[in-house]
């Protein structure tokens, strides 16, 4: 039986620049929020993504992304970005996301990104064991808030 993934939560305030004239968030911003959640997920698991780049010369390249929009986020909404690592393979990471309006706990969007671990030249590499262990250990700081 597969264990339930550990979710991390990042809080964001919808900025005016992220919306259209009707105050509705432009669809591509959800992908930006996924990235914010993913970066925060790594921090909460004990490392900064930049460390992986600088110390190990490894990158987490997006190979696939999807988002299902359920309800629009609007200007000045406080939203929660929930992020989990759904699957870890030797060279592939699959992250899952859920975005909620905090005031109503309404699910606004859900999605997934598939990433390939590569070197600086874009050649596939294996995820080092130290990162796999940090992911398995679970979040270390669940109170962190990003803006």
Domain boundaries, the chain: 7-137
The residue-averaged pLDDT of 79-99 equals: 96
Residue 108 has pLDDT above 70, yes or no: yes
For 6-57, what is each residue's pLDDT tens digit? Answer: 899 999 999 999 999 999 999 999 999 999 999 999 999 998 889 999 999 9
pTM for the full predicted model: 0.89
CATH of domain 7-137: 3.10.129.10
pLDDT of residue 71: 97
Known catalytic residues are: 20
Three-state SS string over the chain comes to CCCCCCEEEEEEECCHHHECCCCEECCCHHHHHHHHHHHHHHHHCCCCHHHHHHHHCCEEEEEEEEEEECCCCECCCEEEEEEEEEEECCCEEEEEEEEEECCCCEEEEEEEEEEEEECCCCCECCCCHHHHHHHHHCCCCCCCCCC
């Amino acid at each position: 039986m597969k264990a339930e993934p550990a979710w991390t939560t990042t809080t964001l305030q919808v900025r005016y620049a992220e919306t259209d004239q009707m105050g509705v968030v432009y669809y591509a911003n959800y992908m930006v929020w996924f990235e914010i959640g993913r970066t925060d997920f790594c921090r909460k698991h004990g490392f900064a993504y930049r460390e992986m780049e600088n110390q190990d010369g490894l990158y987490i390249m997006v190979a696939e992304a999807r988002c299902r929009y359920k309800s629009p986020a609007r200007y000045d909404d406080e939203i929660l970005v929930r992020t989990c690592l759904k699957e870890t393979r030797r060279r592939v990471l699959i992250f899952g996301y859920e975005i909620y309006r905090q005031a109503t706990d309404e699910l606004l969007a859900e999605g997934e990104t598939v990433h390939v671990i590569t070197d600086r030249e874009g050649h596939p590499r294996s995820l080092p064991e130290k990162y796999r262990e940090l992911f398995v250990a679970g979040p270390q700081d669940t109170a962190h808030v990003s803006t």
